[in-house]
Structure 1
Amino acid sequence: MPQLRLALAQVDAVLGDLPGNARTVRDWTARAAADGAQLVAFPEMVLTGYPVEDLALRRSFVDASVAALQQLATDLDADGYGELPVVVGYLDRARGRDADTDGDGVSEDGRTGVPKGMPQNCAAVLHQGRVAARYAKHHLPNYGVFDEFRIFVPGHDLTVVRVDGVDVALAICEDLWQDGGPVAKAREAGAGLLLVLNGSPYERDKDDTRLALAAHRAREAGCPLAYLNLVGGQDELVFDGDSVVVGPDGAVLARAPQFTEHLLVADLDLPQATRPRPDVADVVHVVLCDEPALAREPRPAECAPRLDPVGEVWNALVTGLSGYARKNGFTSVVFGLSGGIDSAVVAALAADALGGRNVVAVSMPSEHSSQHSRDDAADLASRVGADYRIQPISGIVEGFERELTLTGLAAENLQARARGVLIMALSNSEGHLVLATSNKSELAVGYSTLYGDSVGGFAPLKDVPKTLVWQLARWRNAEAERLGQVPPIPEASITKTPSAELRPGQTDQDSLPPYELLDEVLEHYVVGAQGRSELLDAGFPADVVDHVVTLVDRAEWKRRQFAPGPKISSVAFGRDRRLPVTSRWRESDAPTVPADAARQGRHLTADPASAVPTKEYS
């Protein structure tokens, strides 16, 4: 039985940086060669970065990708690695029956509305200075954050490459998630290994889902399966790596760590390739080497430990923030540090992502800012080593008030907007990336001031519910204690009653249900897309449902203007959830469902005053 030493290069690609990504492939190929690899693979569209979105429709970008691939093949050969097969994800254009050959807008397989230029999401096998084989992704996801069916042309043939006497079948990401297609075809073709390149974004608990899927598909294909994923942040997406190799029985053979670049090397005993079956259609066979390599002592299998659920989210947020800042040319961040839990967690995240010395935290007290909040802000800045500054806003607010007569909500929002002006001024003058500190719960119900605390270029907590913010704070402090470090977040910031401190004695629960209840309702309404009747059937009080749903629906226009932030849930605000701003539909217009005993007492109840629709911050 042939032995194949497989190297999976779990790397971070920069979208659009074709020369830089090609250099990454060359560098990690050198590492794989030094480890004695017989086959090295890189993730989905690693050469261009992923997802390319509508750049796929630009002929210039497709041409650049194809040219970069050809140059990469030449460079790898010149580097001395021409005999080592290298599998690389890249952007190409359709050929043969995948293409619209006569220009009538219909591909040869009958698909209408072919995307401009017929781009394809592809994998290439580079060998001896040339592109030895090519595979085009079959299944194009068109849900959640994906719109690949709109911008790509699907492939149809399975590519099987023979490496040192082993037949290796190729697939790309969504091909693994859909029944049939390349996985079933790999079994028919007698493949000894199914290699899947992925650009699969992180979501909470998704690693367990992926592992179960990989195990199921390996059993279906009847051979080991190697799942290789990107790592790093790209706009609102976070790629967590977590690459894995499973056997034909679904057992884990090797697994890479999460949220870090890594070369996972696995020695696999695989079946000897046989003559291709002529009765299996739509399979392209490419022979690179028929003879098995000499046997050698196998390396011990590597199985990196899993992060716990809350630690996984923390690392996802750090990865998303560091990737966004670095890839957009920022080396430092700035934000308002109030002493509350949200800005405290953002400060700790930023320190982990960029280093405390690159974190500019600004306290901007008003006449309503409590002394304990000021003290907590100073304490946190000292703990993380931030550049801490104090800039009172009373004089700025008084200047506006002399010119305008403002009361109530307008006066409260003026304070937040004064802070926004100061933070943006620091960004403009010193070149920092501004971080918005609002969380998902606040964003959902519009509990933030537009052009005030909502200003920013990136929002680390955009997809983090308030209750999870508290969990993250406690996890990070516990992790610091475990490592013998000073916990970054003051206990007072975690335990104090949440307040925007825009008026005397204000608390969040003056306007909102308790966050434990609010977040549960939001999970059903925003993530679960449940309507009013379904929320009532789930046992939520009708007054709370009507209050929360109304706030969420009214805040859509605010969310459209909010900064991007890392996606950690199955439904994040943005491309995951696309609703019109202008709409007269309200859940209260839906048919009512009579209350029954099953709806009573199953959930926390809100304070009666909070169930009455109140003024929202705008």
Structure 2
Amino acid sequence: MKIAIAQLNPTIGDLPGNAQKILTRAQTAAENGARLLLTPELSLCGYPPKDLLLYPDFIAAMHRELQQLARQLPSDLAVLVGTATENPQADSGGKPLFNSIAWLQNGEIGATFHKRLLPTYDVFDEQRYFDPGKTSNCLNLDNIRIGVTICEDLWNDEQFWGKRHYPCNPIEDLANQGVDLIVNLSASPYSLNKPKLREAMLGHSAQRYRCPIIYANQVGGNDDLIFDGCSLAFDRTGKTVARGNAMTEALFFLEFNSTNQQLTSQTTNAFPASEEAELWSALVLGVRDYVRKCGFQKVVLGLSGGIDSSLVAAIATCALGAENVVGVLMSSPYTSDRSVTDATQCAQNLGIATHHLPIAGIMEAYDRSLKGVFAGLGEDVTEENLQSRIRGNLLMALSNKFGYLLLSTGNKSEMAVGYCTLYGDMNGGLAVIADVPKTRVYALCHWLNQQQATGWQSNCERCLHTQAAEIIPQNILEKPPSAELKPDQADSDSLPSYEILDEILDRFIHKHQSRQTIVEAGLPAEVVDKAINLANKAEFKRRQAPPGLKVTDRAFGTGWRMPVAAQKTLPNPEKSKHL
């Protein structure tokens, strides 16, 4: 049997558009002799549809689109389509819907199969909408028994994880029923190194149960989530026999021999060569899809001559093309000539348009307006924040006037400790690197320049074609980071070195370590206390930030659910034993 995997990039809610994507891939699959086509989880509506699922009209429209799709598909091809279906037992206390797979063949909707394990951790909240399926899912096609699963159904192997997260293991149940093959329709969001972890887990399950596994994953950006694709296939020994492209749509084929249960393929794409290459591809995809799916064409950002805005400008240029990126220089009396030169050089390297809007006169107007109210008071962070908010207003004016999407440029380290200004540098429709720590920002910029030096091909919409020897000017990489909001200011005036800060934040945010554990790891107690207190106090800022692209397993976004009004500040360790 020839089996095709359609690694699709759906737009959430675009039922006709998503159905057309499925139909186009189905026609190609049939032309190439495929008998079965797999599509991702909820491929008809896109994942995650969230509260669109609460609208009965949306569910009814999805069913009509599914019926029409079934009539349009090639008659000799069986297609598994991810969709939401109504739960007839909802009146008895169940949730109104199932997360389902519809088997389309011969112009009709055949059987439907329901997801059994519903995740509620991190970015997932499926029990809000769906009832879990109660039985194993199996279809018989050309005398081949195919076990059918959906995403999380594969993520409960106690041998691999060391424990079970759910009472049942759908893969084990299907293996015990003697299926010939297991398929999984998935929408598994990306985080750094997750594709390799996913492959190790699936290979373990295929080997443990001596059963081939085929995994079809969604690709593309949907709001803050990025889906990496990397669809997979494993033979019964756990060997990877196919690996789909990372971060791009794809259609590829497998051959299943029912006599010896061998699964083979010619598609074995390599993983990205490094963590930086992986992150770069994910961020480029996230920006491209967010801009496109929100109906924008061009973006604007503040270009300060610092490393964060330079990296965001490079990502946006790769995602959208230089002609669709506008950088704005907004120098103040505290902005060094070198920063203006660096920002200009970076823009020239990228080939993007720029505007220079000095803000000294606007600052003076604010000073005059506030002079009476502030009489007798010295300058402090208030005046610094006013500069940031002036810049934020100018950027929003350009966004409104020309229909640009404003990209904010703050990194994760700043977002974590509140080293950012509400209604200033936090303005924007998308926070591109809000899940990228400062040390990783530097690593990405060094990596980018190395690629430029060696001549590279990326997943750019229009690759970074430039005659410059580097993308990010060397001076930006070497100078101490500074917000330049007062004379001779440096980030180190307010924060510890980013190497130390990022290690503390990684332990506190990602690993959920206590203050004591972090200090015992050798980090200075006073610095740990300061970092944790700043992180806790900055929650009100993060709550008001634009969506940020998720590229780690603990991002300040959909999966971050911290209270704002709560006692989270550490007490003085000298006065309390209870920390």
TM-score by shorter chain over 0.5: yes
Aligned partners of 1:12 and 1:232 also within 8 Å: yes
Q: Secondary structure at the match of 2:137?
A: strand
- Aligned AA (2:295): G
Q: Secondary structure at the match of 1:184?
A: helix
Aligned partners of 2:4 and 2:252 also within 8 Å: yes
Aligned partner of 1:419 in structure 2 is 391
- Aligned AA (2:296): F
Instruction: Give the CA deviation at 1:68.
Output: 1.3
Q: Secondary structure at the match of 1:587?
A: coil
Aligned partners of 1:201 and 1:238 also within 8 Å: yes
Aligned partners of 2:256 and 2:264 also within 8 Å: no
Q: Is residue 403 of structure 1 aligned with residue 369 of structure 2?
A: yes
- Aligned AA (2:109): V
How many Å separate the matches in 1 of 2:264 and 2:176? 31
What does the per-residue CA deviation read over 1:545-592, in whole Å, with 9 as the maximum and x for residues that have no partner? 111111111100000000101101111012322111111232337896
Q: Is residue 245 of structure 1 aligned with residue 233 of structure 2?
A: yes
Q: Is residue 89 of structure 1 aligned with residue 82 of structure 2?
A: yes
Aligned partners of 1:546 and 1:588 also within 8 Å: no
Instruction: Give the CA deviation at 1:20.
Output: 0.3
How many Å separate the matches in 1 of 2:518 and 2:358? 44
Aligned partners of 1:86 and 1:126 also within 8 Å: yes
Aligned partner of 1:215 in structure 2 is 203
Instruction: Give the CA deviation at 1:209.
Output: 1.0
- Aligned AA (2:80): V
Aligned partners of 2:241 and 2:264 also within 8 Å: no
Q: Is residue 124 of structure 1 aligned with residue 96 of structure 2?
A: no
1:469 pairs with one of 425, 435, 441 = 441
Instruction: Give the CA deviation at 1:222.
Output: 2.5
How many Å separate the matches in 2 of 1:436 and 1:588? 34
Aligned partners of 2:329 and 2:357 also within 8 Å: yes
Instruction: Give the CA deviation at 1:189.
Output: 2.1
What does the per-residue CA deviation read over 1:184-211, in whole Å, with 9 as the maximum and x for residues that have no partner? 1221222111000100000111111101
Instruction: Give the CA deviation at 1:224.
Output: 0.7
Matches within 5 A, 1:9-20: 9-20=6-17
Instruction: Give the CA deviation at 1:159.
Output: 2.4
How many Å separate the matches in 2 of 1:230 and 1:594? 46
Q: Secondary structure at the match of 1:265?
A: strand
How many Å separate the matches in 2 of 1:16 and 1:413? 39
Aligned partner of 1:235 in structure 2 is 223
2:20 pairs with one of 14, 20, 23 = 23
Aligned partners of 2:241 and 2:265 also within 8 Å: no
What does the per-residue CA deviation read over 1:347-379, in whole Å, with 9 as the maximum and x for residues that have no partner? 000001100110010000011111111011111
Aligned partner of 1:343 in structure 2 is 309
Of stretches 427-436 and 401-410 in structure 1, the one that deviates more from structure 2 is: 401-410
Matches within 5 A, 1:362-511: 362-405=328-371, 407-483=379-455, 486=468, 487-511=470-494
Q: Secondary structure at the match of 2:3?
A: strand
What does the per-residue CA deviation read over 1:242-283, in whole Å, with 9 as the maximum and x for residues that have no partner? 11101111101111110000112122223489xxxxxxxxxx
Q: Secondary structure at the match of 2:430?
A: coil
Q: CA distance change for structure 1 residues 299 and 585 in 2, over 3 Å: closer, same or farther? A: closer
Instruction: Give the CA deviation at 1:162.
Output: 2.0
- Aligned AA (2:126): E
Instruction: Give the CA deviation at 1:38.
Output: 1.5
TM-score for the superposition, normalised by structure 2: 0.92
How many Å separate the matches in 1 of 2:572 and 2:72? 64
Matches within 5 A, 1:581-596: 581-588=564-571
Q: CA distance change for structure 1 residues 589 and 84 in 2, over 3 Å: closer, same or farther? A: farther
Aligned partners of 1:192 and 1:271 also within 8 Å: no
Of stretches 341-350 and 484-493 in structure 1, the one that deviates more from structure 2 is: 484-493
How many Å separate the matches in 2 of 1:147 and 1:271? 41
How many Å separate the matches in 1 of 2:332 and 2:70? 61
- Aligned AA (1:86): V
Q: Secondary structure at the match of 2:408?
A: coil
How many Å separate the matches in 2 of 1:536 and 1:476? 34
Aligned partner of 1:557 in structure 2 is 540
Q: CA distance change for structure 1 residues 333 and 66 in 2, over 3 Å: closer, same or farther? A: same
Aligned partner of 2:287 in structure 1 is 321
Aligned partners of 1:5 and 1:39 also within 8 Å: yes
Matches within 5 A, 1:263-274: 263-271=251-259
How many Å separate the matches in 2 of 1:133 and 1:496? 63
Aligned partner of 1:330 in structure 2 is 296
Aligned partner of 2:132 in structure 1 is 154
Aligned partner of 1:46 in structure 2 is 43
Aligned partners of 2:537 and 2:569 also within 8 Å: no
Aligned partner of 2:266 in structure 1 is 301
How many Å separate the matches in 1 of 2:238 and 2:323? 46
Of stretches 518-527 and 259-268 in structure 1, the one that deviates more from structure 2 is: 259-268
2:502 pairs with one of 507, 519, 524 = 519
Aligned partner of 1:143 in structure 2 is 121
Of stretches 525-534 and 385-394 in structure 1, the one that deviates more from structure 2 is: 525-534
Aligned partner of 2:462 in structure 1 is none
Of stretches 527-536 and 15-24 in structure 1, the one that deviates more from structure 2 is: 527-536
Q: Secondary structure at the match of 1:126?
A: strand
Aligned partner of 2:160 in structure 1 is none
- Aligned AA (1:306): F
Q: Secondary structure at the match of 2:389?
A: helix
How many Å separate the matches in 2 of 1:270 and 1:319? 38
Instruction: Give the CA deviation at 1:65.
Output: 1.4
Instruction: Give the CA deviation at 1:474.
Output: 1.1
- Aligned AA (2:411): N
- Aligned AA (1:579): M
Aligned partners of 2:235 and 2:264 also within 8 Å: no
Aligned partner of 1:606 in structure 2 is none
Q: Is residue 173 of structure 1 aligned with residue 166 of structure 2?
A: no
Aligned partner of 1:286 in structure 2 is none
Instruction: Give the CA deviation at 1:160.
Output: 1.8
Aligned partners of 2:41 and 2:185 also within 8 Å: yes
Q: Secondary structure at the match of 2:28?
A: helix
Instruction: Give the CA deviation at 1:533.
Output: 1.9
- Aligned AA (1:84): L
Aligned residues: 550
Q: Is residue 184 of structure 1 aligned with residue 172 of structure 2?
A: yes
How many Å separate the matches in 2 of 1:176 and 1:147? 17
What does the per-residue CA deviation read over 1:43-78, in whole Å, with 9 as the maximum and x for residues that have no partner? 0001001011122222222212122111110121xx
Q: Secondary structure at the match of 1:22?
A: helix
Aligned partner of 2:459 in structure 1 is none
1:258 pairs with one of 240, 246, 256 = 246
What does the per-residue CA deviation read over 1:227-248, in whole Å, with 9 as the maximum and x for residues that have no partner? 1100000001000001110111
Aligned partner of 2:460 in structure 1 is none
Aligned partners of 1:376 and 1:493 also within 8 Å: yes
Q: Secondary structure at the match of 2:554?
A: coil
Of stretches 533-542 and 38-47 in structure 1, the one that deviates more from structure 2 is: 533-542
- Aligned AA (1:235): D
- Aligned AA (1:557): F
Q: CA RMSD in A?
A: 1.9
Q: Structure 1: any 5+ residue segments left out of the alignment?
A: 106-113, 274-294, 596-618
Instruction: Give the CA deviation at 1:213.
Output: 1.0
TM-score for the superposition, normalised by structure 1: 0.86
Q: CA distance change for structure 1 residues 551 and 408 in 2, over 3 Å: closer, same or farther? A: same
How many Å separate the matches in 2 of 1:440 and 1:357? 28
- Aligned AA (2:102): A
How many Å separate the matches in 1 of 2:209 and 2:313? 47
Identity, % of aligned pairs?
Answer: 41
